[in-house]
Structure 1
């Protein structure tokens, strides 16, 4: 150091300029991200952050019990959003000193120490591809201890999706799996079967764990899931995985559209936030503006879209048509009010395990579980009757607007309903072609 050099004098105008243009906040944000992510190339990392500006990339944790469809949903989500798919197996494929150390434990059939595992995850997420495009962590974390360690390491998701399904369904799903050796995609003889005959011919049996092993894994999941819910309660969304995988994906990808908009630092986000926070209905004009913007994006224009529960009335439907977003197929799922009341008002959840129950279809397995079950206030009969009243008040006008709509009996098991929808959809596609 040159001791003869004069001290650097910063003119007071610089501080005023920095304050006016939020430079102090910018530097603090950059340094915070730098210290949390600890990238291998800090200069390139900072350049990416500056270019990205205020746009927040997706950081998603996709959790759930074995056989809940995490791999299928994660792959579709990454394909849809172009984010990086991270699994425990591809983390260990990195050519680094840390992975070499971890593989030594695997070679000895020993568990990788928790602190080393967290460093491996942090190392992978700090790479430029994850920083620039975002990431989906599939099946990570599995325990509350792992979740807290990730938080301490600065790995914080902006969305946590928890797939849920009854144990009986998961055990059934674990059997009959098939794998495509070319793409690695997983299929099932009952739930997911490829349409391409060439793919069907090359499918191979996937080695499945025994029912005893699966039950043990499910019990482990139930022991941890409540704690994981608490850890990520501010950004967690539970999704019923006991439905067609396309519906699960639609809920994962599109179910939080309004909430995602409200979280953005945009004028529209600020406008709709008070409605969502107070539980009020967002005005139609705002919903249409958000919806048409979303349907105009490239993925919807090239691949198509599915609207669930919208439009709710004739005015919404007409405004949707005026915006030139006209559905090519419309389905009405139908059941009596008594069946709807029975399905909704009798369902509950175990706050300890996260397991869902129904007084008729899936009662609690013991008096101990029964006493701690909780019911969602939104599932009350009074609220449901009001929703049904509003639906039937608008149903006939919507049916008149869509005279070619297909009516499906929804008072059946989910798989039968899905098959009915699929058969009508495939038939319509063949006729269109």
Structure 2
């Protein structure tokens, strides 16, 4: 073969290493922050970014109407993620020129301008604790104007949570609210009374929580919430706050730990395992067609190699002609050449038909090909036998029919149908026994594999499979803590 026409081979270790170390995400994050901050010395700025303990820190907006539980949930989030809680009161604690200017508006009973709020936010986020540990905004922004100003300042959240509850529930919560003047914790006369008598004795009614004022605050919130939802619709999760606190926090924490869709390249490397008749070929074809990735059927790759009349192809021809098993070393070498070509490296691949046991899986891993999504299509043996033994092919059109699910359209087509000798019940049971013998060890080799029920409509199987192909792997979840005081 002419060296100029030889397929370009890219070492598979490049993509595996880049994804394991999240190099693409790191470059995307660094470039984003570089464009937002626009430092005078970009090289030194990037060096300082790399010196941080972690660039993937929480950046959460926690929004909601009065008495929806923002403060309580924000505190619990910060306890679990070690992020910094940023609220309206905490922004006015320091003694700076900006804080003094904001307090003058408060002393004159005037609303603090949005531009001044944003400056206070930027001043707080410039502190090293927010940079290293991330932040949770409590009730900020309150309007679309503030949201736009935050975006212009380069302050963008990864997750936005909107707590929601009926107005009647929120008014009842607000009227029963009690505040600990020492710690600032919020309790409720009915739903969350403190267990310690000393704390209960010093609780005070929250100022300005009359029913009329609460209704006015809710009306103001409802006017502002829809523009805010539209602003953050791609990063927003609405959580029902009218349920036990532990359930609310569990939903918020799960969303906060989820990883948003990244524009950085993540090449899909999908491995499909399962018994004969479980639909691996069909699911691989559906994935390849929808996402433009390469469908790699081990058997077809071996036949193509034999047809190309290459040196290795000539060696495996006798095995294919006699139906004997091709040695694993030859199979892995042929698969390696195919999987390392440019289309597989850039677009990704979905592999089925290999590996069939742990030894083959080890050889595939040693060759540098590590799948990042593994699916096991589960199916009972009797269903697999019914699917395959009643299957036949039209030699004229190549179309496949089934006696139960897809009968031949005419007697003429029915007469010319042919059955594959490999689809006899006796040979199929041998293949199923072989699969069951190796399945436990093979599945243990891929402990993070997703198991799917293949005994259902193929499109239902594809929907379940697809939902796990397109999403990024989540962060490890923390266990929600016990219930505490309400906001």
Task: State TM-score, norm by structure 2.
Answer: 0.48
Asked if 1:60 is matched to 2:60, the reply is yes
Secondary structure at the aligned position of 2:476 is classed as: helix
Q: 8 Å contact 2:87–2:139 — kept in the other structure?
A: yes
Structure 2 match to 1:252 = 252
Q: Structure 1 residue 246: deviation in Å?
A: 1.5
1:16-165 matches, within 5 Å, as 30=30, 33=33, 36=36, 49-52=49-52, 55-165=55-165
1:28 & 1:84 partners in 2: Cα distance? 24
Structure 2 match to 1:199 = 199
Q: 8 Å contact 1:191–1:244 — kept in the other structure?
A: no
Q: Per the alignment, do residues 26 and 81 of structure 1 end up closer, same or farther by CA in structure 2, a change over 3 Å counting?
A: closer
Q: Which runs of 5+ in 1 are unaligned?
A: 1-20, 307-433
2:110 & 2:57 partners in 1: Cα distance? 35
Q: Structure 1 residue 144: deviation in Å?
A: 0.9
Q: Structure 1 residue 175: deviation in Å?
A: 1.0
Secondary structure at the aligned position of 2:95 is classed as: coil
Q: Structure 1 residue 37: deviation in Å?
A: 5.0
User: More deviation in 214-223 or 261-270?
Assistant: 261-270
1:357-376 matches, within 5 Å, as none
1:45 & 1:89 partners in 2: Cα distance? 32
Q: Structure 1 residue 118: deviation in Å?
A: 1.3
Secondary structure at the aligned position of 2:184 is classed as: coil
Structure 1 match to 2:476 = 294
Q: Structure 1 residue 61: deviation in Å?
A: 0.4
Structure 1 match to 2:419 = none
Q: 8 Å contact 1:91–1:120 — kept in the other structure?
A: yes
Number of residue pairs aligned between Structure 1 and Structure 2: 271
Q: Per the alignment, do residues 120 and 81 of structure 1 end up closer, same or farther by CA in structure 2, a change over 3 Å counting?
A: same
1:123 & 1:230 partners in 2: Cα distance? 27
After superposition, the C-alpha distances for 1:408-431 in whole angstroms (9 at most, x for unaligned) are: xxxxxxxxxxxxxxxxxxxxxxxx
Structure 2 match to 1:281 = 464
Q: Per the alignment, do residues 110 and 34 of structure 1 end up closer, same or farther by CA in structure 2, a change over 3 Å counting?
A: farther
Secondary structure at the aligned position of 1:156 is classed as: coil
Q: 8 Å contact 1:262–1:268 — kept in the other structure?
A: no
1:103 & 1:43 partners in 2: Cα distance? 39
After superposition, the C-alpha distances for 1:350-397 in whole angstroms (9 at most, x for unaligned) are: xxxxxxxxxxxxxxxxxxxxxxxxxxxxxxxxxxxxxxxxxxxxxxxx
Q: Structure 1 residue 157: deviation in Å?
A: 0.3
Q: 8 Å contact 2:62–2:139 — kept in the other structure?
A: yes
2:154 & 2:219 partners in 1: Cα distance? 29
After superposition, the C-alpha distances for 1:271-293 in whole angstroms (9 at most, x for unaligned) are: 49xx9xx993369999xxx79x8
Secondary structure at the aligned position of 1:214 is classed as: helix
Q: Per the alignment, do residues 209 and 200 of structure 1 end up closer, same or farther by CA in structure 2, a change over 3 Å counting?
A: closer
Secondary structure at the aligned position of 1:182 is classed as: coil
2:38 & 2:93 partners in 1: Cα distance? 20
Q: Structure 1 residue 196: deviation in Å?
A: 3.5
Q: Per the alignment, do residues 304 and 218 of structure 1 end up closer, same or farther by CA in structure 2, a change over 3 Å counting?
A: closer
Structure 2 match to 1:180 = 180
2:83 & 2:191 partners in 1: Cα distance? 26
Q: Per the alignment, do residues 140 and 284 of structure 1 end up closer, same or farther by CA in structure 2, a change over 3 Å counting?
A: closer
Structure 2 match to 1:365 = none
Q: 8 Å contact 1:48–1:132 — kept in the other structure?
A: no
Between 1 and 2, higher relative CO (CA 8 Å, sep ≥ 6) is seen in 2
Q: Structure 1 residue 136: deviation in Å?
A: 0.6
Q: 8 Å contact 2:75–2:85 — kept in the other structure?
A: yes
Q: Structure 1 residue 79: deviation in Å?
A: 1.1
Q: Structure 1 residue 195: deviation in Å?
A: 3.1
Q: Structure 1 residue 119: deviation in Å?
A: 1.4
Q: 8 Å contact 1:65–1:164 — kept in the other structure?
A: yes
2:45 & 2:197 partners in 1: Cα distance? 45
1:224 & 1:48 partners in 2: Cα distance? 38
What is the root-mean-square deviation of aligned Cα atoms in Å?
A: 4.2
